[in-house]
Chain A
Amino acid sequence: MNVFDRRYEMMPRAELEQLQLERLQALLVRLKRNVRRAREKIGDTRVESLADLARLPFTTPEDMVDSFPYGMFALPMREIIRLHTTVGPQGKPLVIGHTRNDLAQWGRLVARQLVAIGVTANDVVQMCFGGGVYGAAGYLFGAQVIEASVIAEDSAHVDYQIATLQNFQPTVLITTPGNALDLMQVMEQRRLDPQSLHIRTVLLSRPVDHETRERLAAGLFARVQCNFGLGEILNPGLCVECSAGHFHVHEDHFLAEVQDGELVLTTLCREALPLLRYRTRVRCELTREKCSCGRSGARIVPGERLDGRLRVNETPLYEGQIAGVLARTKAAGQPFTFTVSERRIVVSVEISDDLFADAVGLIEELTREIESEFLARLGIEADVRFISPRSRAGVDTELDADSKTED
């Protein structure tokens, strides 16, 4: 059995719930003592059993935005040794602080996942997040805990990733689904035999559908496992995907509920930024049925985002952000429609008389300008095209003498 923290991961239900209750009570004391917002909201509510959880107030992503950057921290900055950022509602930035203990715990929680997929001190681990070291931070801490050999290199370019796979012969690859697919495709194009590499296990940064998993498993000739995490809570390190393919929440650290179909999480142990009943804005199913792997943590099946968050090339995106980018260009305020693919967005902006008058012949230039604005501000590739207002009105299919459109 590949279980890192047998005592907690397989803790009998009753014992686990007693532990949760004690940690929850301690959390409330910390919150009331150190976080003004929480003190006001919690008031005199007392928690005698886990059932009392339902009487406690929620924390929302909007609360976090309102208290940006440090308003919800429970400790002075002196105690905080790391600030990670993540994305909140409408793409607004959020700051997640960690104390020394928080970081140590993070590593141990991620180690649970790594051990579950068979990573040991004998493994060489390559991480490809293409965005510097911080996307991989949690994985790095986890690998460090189990003393696997981490290649301290994160090449953005797939050529270097392949060279690293060939030269360092890693046995474990941790990466995003998008990058894994790129890697697979380039290897296929170049007729590189995946069996000539040494990858045994691929850990993906987020869940993918069954078909993608199978494709990657075949294309990279390795077992494919997925992580599920949330930047505001912990990502990775929120749960473990077991050999039976279920996500078990680390319930000794995170109290999980589902409210109106939404996953709600309470951080039981986090020191720097404890969150009480945080509404994750992720649809979720939750069960506490027994699992063949023996872990007792609740099993979750995460679903779609409930707040309209989209994903383009592994980057979160909200519709309002598209309008925000346009607002900084000459196309400010123009009606637009958009479609999202895995890798890019296609934005169709209505042309106006003013824009056209200003830019006959320069529309191409304006298009490029807006596209580079998308890349610079949101980090995503966009195809921008201008369309006639009539096109959006849906009258452009056939010019019919009878169908006049008034302006």
Chain B
Amino acid sequence: MNDVKLVAAFAENKPGQVAHFTKILASANINIRWLAVASTGPFGVMKFLVSDPEMACQALKHEGFVTKLVDALAIEVPDKPGGLHAVADCLASHNINLDNASGFITNNRAIMVLEVPDAARARDVLQKQGFRVLTQMELPV
């Protein structure tokens, strides 16, 4: 099992925060594949899908940011109508809640990033249905 890890970082809601993070990661030579900002007023949680999550965490911590690794699933879905819906449908039919979901497209591949309460079980369910669940290594560069 090699689930994907997201780097979650606590961010105050003020100008330049995203730039802070990206600058730190860039100088640590870490590629950011995807990022999401969940903001609730005075603060937000920023989540990154990066080439090396452990190192990204360390780099951010070193600069005084509070971070944590979050389990997630990265699923490659066909880049065609209904592709995303099929994944959501599959999880719903197994009573699995989505804490968070979003996606990105890179090199003509559509990747869905899911946060679910029980990643291992969701992975099983999806794989049984024939979905391609990516490992950290399989993520597109």
User: Bound complex: CA of A387 vs CA of B65, how far in Å?
Assistant: 10
Which residues in B have their C-beta under 8 angstroms from that of A364?
40-41
A383 (CB) vs chain B CBs: closest residue: B42
- Which of these binds chain A: B20-28, B83-91, B103-111, B132-140? B20-28
Decide if B33 is an interface residue (CB 8 Å cutoff): no
Q: Is A18 an interface residue (CB 8 A)?
A: no
Q: Determine if A405 and B63 form an interchain contact, defined as CB atoms under 8 angstroms apart.
A: yes
Residue of A nearest to B40 (CB): A364
**Interface residues in A340-394 (C-beta closer than 8 Å to B):** 351-353, 355-357, 360-361, 363-364, 385-391, 393
B48-56, B66-74, B120-128: which lies at the interface: B66-74
Q: How far is the CA of A387 from the CA of B11 in the complex (A)?
A: 8
Is A399 positioned at the interface, with any CB of B under 8 Å from its CB? yes
B64 CB-CB contact with A under 8 Å: yes
Query: B8 within 8 Å of A by Cβ?
Result: yes
- CB neighbours (8 Å) of B62 from chain A are 404-407
B65 contacts across to A, CB distance below 8 A: 388, 390
Q: A351-B10, A385-B42, A387-B12 are in contact. Are A360 and B68 (CB under 8 A)?
A: yes
A353, A364, A389 — most chain B CB neighbours (10 Å): A364
B12 and A363 form a contact (CB under 8 A): no
Q: What is the CB-to-nearest-CB distance from B100 to chain A, in angstroms, rounded to a whole number?
A: 8
**By the criterion CB–CB under 8 Å, are B64 and A388 in contact?**
yes
CA distance A132 to B10 in the complex (A): 43
Sorting the interface of chain A by its residue count into under 10, 10 to 19, 20 to 34 or 35 or more gives 20 to 34
A395 at the binding interface (Cβ < 8 Å): yes
Prevailing SS type, chain B contact patch: mixed
On whether the beta carbons of A390 and B10 are closer than 8 Å, the reply is no
User: Within 8 Å CB of A396, what residues of B?
Assistant: 12
Q: Provided the pairs A351-B10, A388-B12, A399-B23 are in contact, do residues A357 and B45 lie with their beta carbons within 8 angstroms?
A: no
Contact A399–B64 (Cβ < 8 Å): no
With A351-B10, A387-B12, A391-B12 as known contacts, state yes or no: A360 contacts B66, CB within 8 Å. Answer: no
Name the residue of chain A whose CB is nearest to the CB of B99.
A361
Contact in complex: A356, B67 (CB < 8 Å): yes
Give the interface centre of B23, B66, B100 by most chain A CB atoms within 10 Å.
B66
Residue of A nearest to B39 (CB): A364
Partner of A385, one of B23, B24, B43, B99: B43
Nearest opposing residue in chain B for A387, CB measure: B12
Measured between beta carbons, the chain A residues less than 8 angstroms from B11 are: 388
Q: In the bound complex, what is the Cα–Cα distance between A406 and B63 (angstroms)?
A: 7
Interchain CA distance A357-B11 in the complex, whole Å: 14
Contact with A along B29-46 (1 / 0, CB 8 A): 000000000101111010
Kindly state whether residue A1 has any CB partner on chain B within 8 Å. no
Chain A residue numbers with a CB within 8 Å of B41 are 364
**Option from A353, A387, A399 in Cβ contact (under 8 Å) with B68:** A353
Residues of the B chain whose Cβ atoms lie less than 8 Å from the Cβ of A352: 66
Tell whether B61 is near chain A: CB-to-CB under 8 Å.
yes
Question: When the two chains form their complex, are residues B10 and A386 in contact, meaning their CB atoms are under 8 A apart?
Answer: yes
Smallest CB separation, A226 vs chain B (Å): 37
Whole-angstrom distance between the Cβ of B45 and the nearest chain A Cβ? 6
A-B CB contact pairs (8 Å), 17 listed: A352-B66, A356-B10, A356-B67, A360-B45, A361-B38, A361-B100, A363-B40, A364-B41, A386-B43, A388-B12, A388-B64, A388-B65, A390-B63, A399-B19, A399-B24, A407-B62, A407-B64
